[in-house]
Amino acid sequence: MNLCKFFSSVRNLYWKKKKPSLGKYVIVKPGKVSPRKFVPDHIPKPSYYLTGEPTENIEHPDIKNEQQIQRMRASCRLAANILKKIGENIKVGQTTDEIDISVYETCIQCGAYPSPLNYKHFPKSVCTSVNNVACHGIPDDRPLEDGDIINVDITVFYNGYHGDCSQTFLVGNVDSEGKELVRATEICLNEAIEICKPGQYFRAIGAFIEGRAHQLGFRVVPAFIGHGIGHYFHGPPDIYHFKNSYPGVMEAGMTFTIEPILTQGEELIEILHDNWTAVTYDCARTAQFEHTVLITDSGADILTLPN
């Protein structure tokens, strides 16, 4: 029995009044992955470069000092500039492997390490997640098709600090349902950043995003969370994107990501046998946006903005 089709029909019955259609798009099956790249000696490497296992053990959200903040700003700006350049060049027929090559080469030119490469054995320099792939898509030989939506998630390790951001781009002519999903996801991220300030609960972000997503007619995929970031790729705090009871409040000098994934369909995801690719169980499309933010004395600065 084809589970994808089965779940689509159940979902379509269930949502008939509210959501007459999930639109027109191609369900993605992963393609062929090219061999792993190595990084030249002169580029400073993160702890996991050789082993695939990060060694940092961060117990509490850390407060960055001025010098650390300057370094975070630089790595986040670089990640955002690379993401912008990739976005400007996305086109029908381009493979996600070509996007990976471009991210890898730009990082090396800039003296940065592409953080995903060998992070917990991830095989590539960037995550590329198309249509029903929720996140952690591995770049491969599949050419982008007219009407695809693709999340490109860029993290760089630069000057000893990671900067992490992602956007979902439209490829050619995307149907109105897809455009709405992408727009809603970006709204959820941007408005969630506006509630961040010293003294605010981390858990307020999730309560806000879940409520806003439902207002806009979408659901949050709960399996993936934002995270503290610094000389480590992922650390405390955990930033859930749905109503939760995670403890703790924001303090000036903290840096973390917010990275909601919204879906047109059901929340459930499945990890494929490559151990990374997360696809929706019902094959509905998802979109994701991510920024790294810094808590300041009065609110939050988005660090992952391009020049």
Q: Which residues bind ligand MF3 (CB under 6 A)?
A: 116, 119-120, 122, 127, 136, 153, 155, 164, 257, 259, 290
238 binds Co ion (CB under 5 A): no
The stretch among 208-216, 240-248, 250-258, 265-273 that binds Co ion (CB under 5 A) is 250-258
CB of 233 to Co ion, least distance (A): 8
Output 87 or 217, the one with its CB closest to ligand MF3.
Answer: 87
177 binds Co ion (CB under 5 A): no
CB of 7 to Co ion, least distance (A): 27
Output 253 or 260, the one with its CB closest to Co ion.
Answer: 260
Residue 142: which of ligand MF3, Co ion, none does it interact with, CB under 5 to 8 A by kind?
A: none
Output 69 or 127, the one with its CB closest to ligand MF3.
Answer: 127
CB of 304 to Co ion, least distance (A): 9
263 binds Co ion (CB under 5 A): no
Output 8 or 257, the one with its CB closest to ligand MF3.
Answer: 257
In three-state form (DSSP H/G/I as H, E/B as E, the rest C), the secondary structure along the chain is CCHHHHHHHHHHHHCCCCCCCCCCCCCCCCCCCCCCCCCCCCCCCCCCCCCCCCCCCCCCCCCCCHHHHHHHHHHHHHHHHHHHHHHHHCCCCCEHHHHHHHHHHHHHHCCCEECCCCHHHCCCCCEEEECCEEECCCCCCCECCCCCEEEEEEEEEECCEEEEEEEEEECCCCCHHHHHHHHHHHHHHHHHHHCCCCCCECHHHHHHHHHHHHHCCCEECCCCCEEECCCCCCEEEEECCCCCCCCCECCCCCEEEECCEEECCCCCEEECCCCCCEEECCCCCEEECEEEEEECCCCEEECCCCC
210 binds Co ion (CB under 5 A): no
Number of residues that bind Co ion (CB under 5 A): 5
164 binds Co ion (CB under 5 A): yes
CB of 120 to Co ion, least distance (A): 13
Residues in the site for Co ion, rule: CB under 5 A?
153, 164, 166, 257, 290
